[in-house]
Structure 1
Amino acid sequence: MTAAPTGGQYHLRHAGPDGAVEAIVTEVAAGIRELRVAGFDITEPFPVTSQPPGANGIVLAPWPNRVAGGVWELDGERQQLDISEPKYGNASHGLLRFTPYRVVSQSSTSVLQEATIHPQHGWPFTLETRVHHELVDDGIRVTHEVVNRSGVRAPFAIGAHPYLRAGDTPAEDLVVTLDAASAFTVDEQKIPNGTVSVDGTPYDLRAGVRAGDADLDTAYRDVTPDADGIRRTTMHGPEGDGVELWQDESFPYVQVFTSREFPRGDGTGLAVAVEPMTAPANALNSGEGLRWLEPDESWTGAWGIRRVWS
């Protein structure tokens, strides 16, 4: 039997009050391969025979998005990461994209996995990472933990890369809404080179924008939290049913990516990634959002995806 490119497949099921919540979480990259509520897909699924298209569903650690040229500086010394995005010449999406995680514990509704980031080219630290996927009544909650095992203080940032879906509604017809006041501009390598107010720009999602009319690979900050400190991005179809990605105060940034190269049948089409991030692209150089852990210090943060009814 041919092994799945994403390794072991952990099938989760929860009997929610509005119907079964079901997910498939993968061993490689601790990704979400399928997620649905009452038969209504709230992420883009992909086949077990496939690698995650466009990094679909994977965990991004110890940095999300890109490091310019794969180069950063630590205590005055140049660090050169492996170039994993040749098209733009960057190190992209961290060091665990093709790494199998180990199961720590598992039940019918949840799975806790861990992976260690060991020292390697441009990364002289050891971090233990854990990812807990837990089904809840209307979707999934994902909790991350990072522990520094380096013996010296170490930096990190965390992100995830789900593509959201609202049942069978074509992605073009989904309305994307995000209450964010500013967005990052980028250079030709897709590295941030400034921020702008979203007022009067194509980046403004506060009133909702039809995904088919958007062209975004854009990180947002100054995202307005609710009274509980939660930031929310929603996508809904013409009938009102939709999906929401929420992120706690540990994840103050979010990337919205309207990919038109997502596999669709015999060709490609539109899919929308909504990526919770603790820091924006190139944080190892800019320092924005970057967190530093002392030896044996730990950090936790959470985000999730839920179905929204009209």
Structure 2
Amino acid sequence: MTASDLTPTGRSIVLEAAGVRAELGTVAAVLRGLTVDGVEVTESIPAGSAPPMAAGIVLAPWPNRVRDAVWTLDGERQQLDITEVSRANAIHGLLRNTDYEVREQAPGAVTLGALIPPQHGWPFLLDTWVRYELSPDGLAVTHGVVNRSARTAPYATGAHPYFRIGANPVDELELMVAASVYYEVDTRMNPVAAHSVEGTPYDLRTGAPLAELTLDTPFGGVAPGVAARLTAPDGATVELLHDAAWRYLQVFTARDFPRAAGRGLAVALEPMTAAPDALNSGDGLRWLAPGERWEGHWGIRYTAGRSGAGSR
């Protein structure tokens, strides 16, 4: 890599085939943008900018937050670095500022890998990777890990994409979330209870206008398949797809997301394999024996609307 290649998101990688284009960066294995037939389906991050509001980054070895940046392992207190200073939590894992290595690359796919070494509050060595692969109507994403420690290690992962449907204003979209549980959170955004969505404003299984929603909310009980869907006025959709490992989802409606045209509403749909504060609750947390390997998958699918824009 030369000096001219250096950017806040690391080395730029472009995957392009059959009308689908993904722009990536090696820092935090960030998804900088995804278009299908010229239609933007994620918020784009300029190569010269750091990801705003964690846009597009990979979250490992935990997504979301660890309360007080503290958890307990075999009766011993583990003190992580506080990375969400305003709320005194550890947020979004240990790789958000790590430059991944390119382990494998083809015209329509790339695998980026990074080690998570032992550090404050984390006495483990994990080898992690994420593979981005173009699909006919979007993107397939595979997260993987091998425990290289001599002891069993906890693990969870997630991602932080913000979605849109082309030039449609985000506040004109409808959001569906296929979740049966939502998590009540405190003022520091840590979970205090899990509730059924039935009969609550958090029941988004039949959809609701984004303009009416203010969310920074974790959801659970997400079945494999379509975890969430955005729908434009002309019927175009962008769907977040989960496999069986991804039973959790964070929905964040950011009212001041920065764009070239000015700040405005954006929506993050964050696939997660575990609930917030899983290092303390164990909710969705996976424990990997020494040498054990795991992979899980999520994806993005775009379908054109009645206008036919982006139709194949």
TM-score between both structures, scaled by the size of structure 1: 0.95
Secondary structure at the residue paired with 2:180? strand
Q: What amino acid sits opposite 1:9 in the alignment? A: S
Q: What amino acid sits opposite 1:32 in the alignment? A: L
Q: Does 1:4 align with 2:7?
A: yes
Contact 2:40 2:164 in 1 (8 A): yes
Q: Show the counterpart of 1:142.
A: 141
Q: What amino acid sits opposite 1:44 in the alignment? A: E
CA distance in 2, matches of 1:153, 1:123: 12
Secondary structure at the residue paired with 2:221? strand
User: Shift in Å at residue 2 of structure 1?
Assistant: 7.2
Secondary structure at the residue paired with 1:180? coil
* Aligned counterparts, 1:54-203, within 5 A: 54-203=53-202
Q: What amino acid sits opposite 1:26 in the alignment? A: G
* Aligned counterparts, 1:275-290, within 5 A: 275-290=270-285
What is the CA deviation profile of residues 172-219 of structure 1, one whole-angstrom value per residue up to 9, with x for unaligned ones? 111000122210000111110001222232212111111111001111
Contact 2:5 2:11 in 1 (8 A): no
Q: Does 1:13 align with 2:16?
A: yes
Is the alpha carbon distance of 1:164 and 1:266 closer, same or farther for their aligned partners in structure 2, counting shifts above 3 Å? closer
Q: What amino acid sits opposite 2:193 in the alignment? A: G
User: Shift in Å at residue 261 of structure 1?
Assistant: 2.1
Q: Show the counterpart of 1:252.
A: 247
CA distance in 2, matches of 1:232, 1:197: 16
User: Shift in Å at residue 4 of structure 1?
Assistant: 0.8
Q: Show the counterpart of 1:219.
A: 218
* Aligned counterparts, 1:37-56, within 5 A: 37-56=36-55
CA distance in 1, matches of 2:246, 2:181: 16
TM-score between both structures, scaled by the size of structure 2: 0.95
In structure 2, the gaps of 5 or more residues are 306-312
Contact 1:202 1:214 in 2 (8 A): no
Structure 1 ranges of 4+ moved more than 4 A: none
CA distance in 2, matches of 1:196, 1:161: 24
Secondary structure at the residue paired with 2:263? strand
Contact 1:13 1:22 in 2 (8 A): yes
Q: What amino acid sits opposite 2:232 in the alignment? A: G
CA distance in 2, matches of 1:84, 1:71: 12
Q: Show the counterpart of 2:265.
A: 270
Secondary structure at the residue paired with 2:72? strand
Deviates more, 1:189-198 or 1:64-73: 189-198
What is the CA deviation profile of residues 103-152 of structure 1, one whole-angstrom value per residue up to 9, with x for unaligned ones? 11101111011100000000000000011000010000000111000110
Is the alpha carbon distance of 1:2 and 1:10 closer, same or farther for their aligned partners in structure 2, counting shifts above 3 Å? closer
CA distance in 2, matches of 1:85, 1:5: 20
CA distance in 2, matches of 1:23, 1:2: 18
Contact 1:8 1:27 in 2 (8 A): yes
Contact 2:278 2:285 in 1 (8 A): yes
Secondary structure at the residue paired with 1:111? strand
CA distance in 1, matches of 2:214, 2:238: 20
- The alignment-based identity, stated in percent, is 51
Q: Show the counterpart of 1:297.
A: 292
CA distance in 2, matches of 1:144, 1:186: 27
Deviates more, 1:139-148 or 1:192-201: 192-201
**In the comparison of the two structures, how many residue pairs are matched?**
302
User: Shift in Å at residue 266 of structure 1?
Assistant: 5.9
Q: What amino acid sits opposite 2:184 in the alignment? A: T
Contact 1:231 1:249 in 2 (8 A): no
CA distance in 1, matches of 2:125, 2:226: 30
CA distance in 2, matches of 1:103, 1:50: 21
In structure 1, the gaps of 5 or more residues are none
User: Shift in Å at residue 267 of structure 1?
Assistant: 3.8
CA distance in 2, matches of 1:197, 1:153: 33
What is the CA deviation profile of residues 61-86 of structure 1, one whole-angstrom value per residue up to 9, with x for unaligned ones? 00000000100001111111001101
CA distance in 2, matches of 1:298, 1:289: 17
* RMSD after superposition: 1.1
CA distance in 1, matches of 2:59, 2:45: 18
Q: What amino acid sits opposite 1:269 in the alignment? A: G
Q: What amino acid sits opposite 1:8 in the alignment? A: R
Contact 1:231 1:248 in 2 (8 A): no
Q: Does 1:236 align with 2:231?
A: yes
Q: Show the counterpart of 2:304.
A: 309
